[in-house]
Amino acid sequence: MESFVYTTSPSHVIFGPAGKSSSQLLNRLECREHHAVLILSTPGQAEKANVLAHALTPNTVGVFSKAAMHTPIEITREAVQAAEDLKADSIVSIGGGSTIGLGKAISIRTGLRHFCIPTTYAGSEMTPILGETVDGIKTTRRDIAIIPETVIYDVSLTMSLPLAISITSGINAIAHAVEALYAPDTNPIIRLMAKEGIGALSQALLIITASPQDLEARTKALYGAWLCGVCLGSTTMSLHHKLCHTLGGSFNLPHAETHAILLPHTFAYNSPAVPSAARDLAYALGDAEGDAVKALNSLLDRLSVSRALSNYGLREEDLGRAASIAVRNPYGNPRKVEEGKIQELIRRAWAGEHAKADL
């Protein structure tokens, strides 16, 4: 048996029947004696935030609905000021990774307790990681104080999630677990969670594609996203996340879509160095031939994922600069990161090609 270190998350997770989020949250807030809650959302989730604010009356002091992708510092500063002006004693984020990221950014700066209700499959709610963008550069930091105090999973809030967002945020979560399979600080418990999370999410997403209102599949997807988020929060990020952070922070590419497109390519690049992870991934995806790269390509095809970064605004003339930024201050990776090969990896993703393990 290998030697390893396993640290559990201090976050309190409530995974219960659909439609119970507001009552569970109110109980949790009152238990913590919080009576001045600031609710966070993106502009697109403002209606859900206002419904939640009404449900929590009179414990709510306001709603801040300006959360944005990649957590730009100027939005964070505005939100922190709003929390101070309203004398908030806690914050509640309702939404996906953008809103949860803003909640983390406020919490780590102010010390306010962060309560979280995820409505996508991104998994950010289970991590002590904060990614922020300043002057076009996205950086990350890790601190146990960043992780939300309480996470409430309510499947009813994912039933109206558009199919395209369901698929890309689900692949985003799968990417978290894939990197955890070969992270330098992985361990047997995390690998079990990773395989279970990948299997649950991939199976659920295929059903959701055909039947978006399937409650059992939506529940299974949220369960898988939770496990994948735990994996990300428990291990070191590698090349995949570095490239996603580079393309998102410096070129304003959409977060989940970028993760989905890059995942087969980044795993293909690393696969020669991580044969056991490749076997585990192929098993989790149900590939009888044991070809993890082929299985990832097939999954994205079956889910009708748009495969080209060029569709989201990345220009061919940006490829060299993207590769140059990506190899600066590289994250730990099982295979040496070489700028020329990374540029070709990005080019393939830009062009929408299928991933190949030949770099």
How do residues 183-215 score in pLDDT, each as one tens digit? 999 999 999 999 999 999 999 999 999 999 999
Find all residues with CB under 8 Å of 144, minimum gap 6, and list them.
10, 128
200 within domain boundaries: yes
Ranges 19-23, 85-89, 243-247, 297-301: which has the least confidence: 19-23
How far is the C-alpha of 141 from the C-alpha of 132, rounded, in Å?
Answer: 9
Q: Is 33 left (phi over 0), alpha (psi -120 to 50) or beta?
A: left
How far from each other are the two terminal CA atoms of the chain, in whole angstroms? 33
- Residues 245 and 335 grouped into a single domain: yes
Same domain, 318 and 182: yes
pLDDT of residue 21 exceeding 80, the answer is no
Helix axes 73-85, 97-110, angle to 10 degrees: 60
Report if residue 63 sits inside a domain. yes
328/254 same-domain check: yes
- Do 124 and 91 belong together in one domain? yes
Q: Residue holding tokens 């959360």?
A: 67
Rounded CA-CA distance 227/237 in Å is 16
Residue range 310-339: average pLDDT?
A: 94
Contact 21, 152 (CB under 8 A): yes
In the chain, pLDDT over 70 holds for what percent of residues? 97
- For residue 212, cis peptide bond before it (omega within 30 degrees of 0): no
| pLDDT band at 30; cut points 50, 70, 90 | confident
Confidence of residue 123 (pLDDT cuts 50, 70, 90): confident
Domain that holds residue 252: 163-351
Q: How confident is the model at residue 7 (pLDDT cuts 50, 70, 90)?
A: confident
Residue 194 lies in a domain: yes
Query: How sure is the predictor about 347, in pLDDT bands with cuts at 50, 70 and 90?
Result: very high
Q: Are 116 and 153 in the same domain? A: yes
CATH code at position 78: 3.40.50.1970
Domain co-membership, 89 together with 200: no
Does 30 share its domain with 134?
yes
Q: Which residues, listed in sequence order, are joined to residue 40 by a DSSP beta bridge?
A: 64, 93
158, 187, 208: which is the final residue of a domain?
158
Neighbours of 336 (CB within 10 A): 8
Beta bridge partners of 133: 72, 138
How high does pLDDT run on average in the chain? Answer: 93
Q: Does 228 reside within a domain?
A: yes
Q: Return d(Cα 238, Cα 273) in angstroms, integer.
A: 13
Query: What pLDDT is recorded for position 70?
Result: 87
- On whether residue 330 sits in a domain, the answer given is yes
Number of structural domains found in the chain: 2
CA distance 224 to 153: 12
pLDDT tens, residue by residue, 75-122? 999 999 999 999 999 999 999 989 999 999 999 999 999 999 999 998
303 pLDDT above the threshold of 90: yes
